[in-house]
Chain A
Amino acid sequence: MGYSLSLLIGVAMLAGSLAAGLRIPLPGRELPLLLVPSAMFTALTGLFIIVGRRSAIVQALGYLAMENGIAAFGLALAEQEPLLVEMGTLLDAFVAVFVMGITIFHINREFDHIDADRLSSLKDAPE
């Protein structure tokens, strides 16, 4: 997907998350005004990067951005989450990126490229 198209889609997502995020009712919670829209936008950006980019390492970055956005949501929504569980969540995201990094290392060594689009040998062949 081209860069100018990606930027346009990004702007559209920003407008969309501002419009939607400001309307979400959160009764009884005192929050900064822009917390929910920015969390939403970050998560959407991550998802867009995972879907729209080919390189495996950029997809891993997209996963990180998405996880960041969701964690920001968690800041807004889940104040009753115990610290230990929160730490577990962060540890998992950390290890996920670690494991993805190792896998990308293997992909690079095996194929001499990290283009996830070209990982397409597995499919349902007709009999």
Chain B
Amino acid sequence: MILLLVGLPAAAALAAFFLRPNEPRRLLLLGTALAHTACVAWSWVRPDLFAALGDWIALDSLGRLFLGITSVLFLVVSFYAVGFLRREGGGRSSDPEEGFLFDNTPEALFTACLLGFLATMTLVTVSTHFGLLWVAIEATTLVSAPLIHYHRHHRSLEATWKYLLLCSVGIAVALLGTYFVAAAVPRGSGGSLTFRALAQRASLLDVRWLKAGFLLLLVGYGTKMGLAPLHAWLPDAHSEAPPVVSALLSGALLNCAFLAILRILSVCTAAGLGAFSRQTILVFGLVSMAVAAGLIIGQADFKRLLAYSSVEHMGILAVGIGLGGTGDWGSLFHAVNHSLTKAALFLLAGNLLAAYGSKKTADVRGALRRTPFTAVLWTAGFFAILGAPPFGAFSSELAILMAAVHSGSWAVVVLYSLFLAAIFAGMVGVLARMAQGGAHGARTAGAHSAALVPAGARREGALAVAPPLVLLCLTLALGLFVPGFLARSLQQAMALLGV
């Protein structure tokens, strides 16, 4: 059964690559996403059916949580993708910002990579061996590079190259870290590199090698997760990728790297290095929040704004894990909320880009009149991502703040609230101008884009508005109450992290 989770999207990817006509291929994408989500839901209801396969592949509670996020997100995003491909798929199109013509990646290749992306991310969540985990995470990079290069022009090419090189080098560092962890296992103890075997033999591990291995893994997977000094690829890739891909990168891929860091953390905790590793993660988290705050204030490009907001939220996740206790709960719950909200925002950003033909916040004026549904959801999404009360992110960010207060480190409390407040102020300022704005601004923007964007592209289709609406409703529901199965799963995942 567990092989089905990975095999289904992988087989569908292969089929999509060879399927000629467009509409059946789009249906295949939807069908695979639906079947995958159904399988994942089944694994939440009946975990016993998804038994481990050998030593390397198994679904534990931590993996199941992240697999759930990924699968639900992919399902919702694939509906948007069908609308997006009908609107912009294939052929030539003109660049809304600079006006030149460019080709799109053939739709078959794009769909195949999208499904392959789902398969590799699923493999990340089900692998229980550090070597296999590395293989899966590197595979996600390779499969997603063509996705970023969907619009074949010079900006997306630059973003793709940076993404490919920085992430590959980062992950190569993680491979070195994996070997260091292997070196920590004493020879002849028969231990393998599975998480469970390492945790069971934790007292036998050589602490110096493990410490070095942890730092290398944190740097390596931290590059992929977008933690601050290593985030250089993230804003470029997120701003140039098509909305579907940005949403998946931010909502699902960053989480996969986070999961990898949690895996090594649980081994370190078992070996008595818990305090050291959590403190290191905490420092990375605070630095990420600081860098993001500095770049969000006065950001002129709304897709880059969202990308830096992802850096901020990865920082929040790291701070929560760094604090431990309630922070663990807050962090895992925040991963769910952030994924849902940020994916919705990236999809809406795609609608705004299609309507206005510009990624500049200064060009988007009076969105409430022009694209009313998108603008209302965009406003709601901004408040959700900023952690305003009725949404889920509020309770998770509050839980992390409580953990900071309980830990008694006031420096963390002050810095954490300061960065959150600064980002709140910066993003609300941008939002107000985008949603309202003067009539004059709206008119010039209209004249600007009417010349470049085909008339049909400006209507807000149901497939462009419904998916973000669903995602925002989900995060709103999580803010109002946490369903029992999710609460149980969060508790079990916390238990795996150790204290």
Contacts and interface: CB of A to CB of B under 8 A. Distances in A.
Q: Chain B contact residues (Cβ within 8 angstroms of A): what range?
A: 35 or more
Given A95-B142, A116-B161, A127-B361, A81 B240 contact: no
A29 B187 contact: yes
Interface in A76-93: 77-82, 85-86, 88-89, 91-92
Interface in B171-224: 172, 175-176, 178-180, 182-183, 185-188, 191-193, 206
B152 interface: yes
Nearest to B183: A77
29 contacts: A28-B187, A56-B161, A63-B168, A63-B169, A66-B169, A78-B131, A78-B182, A82-B129, A85-B56, A85-B135, A88-B132, A89-B131, A89-B134, A89-B135, A91-B135, A92-B139, A92-B142, A96-B164, A99-B145, A99-B146, A103-B161, A107-B157, A110-B152, A110-B153, A120-B158, A121-B155, A124-B299, A126-B298, A127-B299
Contacts of B160: 103
Interface of A is mostly: helix
A94 to B, nearest CB: 10
Given A28-B188, A103-B161, A122-B159, A63 B183 contact: no
B57 to A, nearest CB: 11
Interface string B300-315: 1100100000000000
Contact of B157 (A91, A96, A110): A110
Contacts of B149: 103, 106
B402 to A, nearest CB: 34
B282 to A, nearest CB: 26
Interface string A22-56: 00001111000000000000010001001000001
A77 B298 contact: no
B165 interface: yes
A14 interface: no
Given A99-B142, A106-B157, 19 more contacts: A60-B165, A66-B169, A70-B175, A70-B176, A73-B176, A74-B175, A74-B179, A78-B193, A80-B192, A82-B131, A89-B134, A100-B164, A103-B149, A103-B157, A106-B152, A121-B154, A121-B158, A124-B235, A124-B300
A122 B179 contact: no
A125 interface: yes
B463 interface: no
B236 interface: yes
Interface of A: 26-29, 43, 47, 50, 56, 59-60, 63, 66-67, 70, 73-74, 77-82, 85-86, 88-89, 91-92, 95-96, 99-100, 103, 106-107, 110-111, 116, 119-122, 124-127
Contacts of B107: none
A99 B164 contact: yes
A96 B139 CA distance: 9
A11 to B, nearest CB: 23
A50 B187 contact: no
A63 B165 contact: yes
Interface of B: 56, 129, 131-132, 134-135, 138-139, 141-142, 145-146, 149, 152-155, 157-162, 164-165, 168-169, 172, 175-176, 178-180, 182-183, 185-188, 191-193, 206, 235-236, 239-240, 295, 298-301, 304, 361-362
B169 A88 contact: no
A124 B187 CA distance: 50
Interface of B is mostly: helix
A122 B239 contact: yes
A83 to B, nearest CB: 11
A118 B459 CA distance: 38
B169 to A, nearest CB: 6
Contacts of A63: 165, 168-169, 172
Contacts of A122: 155, 158-159, 162, 235-236, 239-240
B197 to A, nearest CB: 10
A82 B164 CA distance: 27
Contacts of B131: 78, 81-82, 85-86, 88-89
A124 B361 CA distance: 13
B169 A81 contact: no
Nearest to A91: B135
A84 to B, nearest CB: 8
A124 B298 CA distance: 10
A89 B145 CA distance: 18
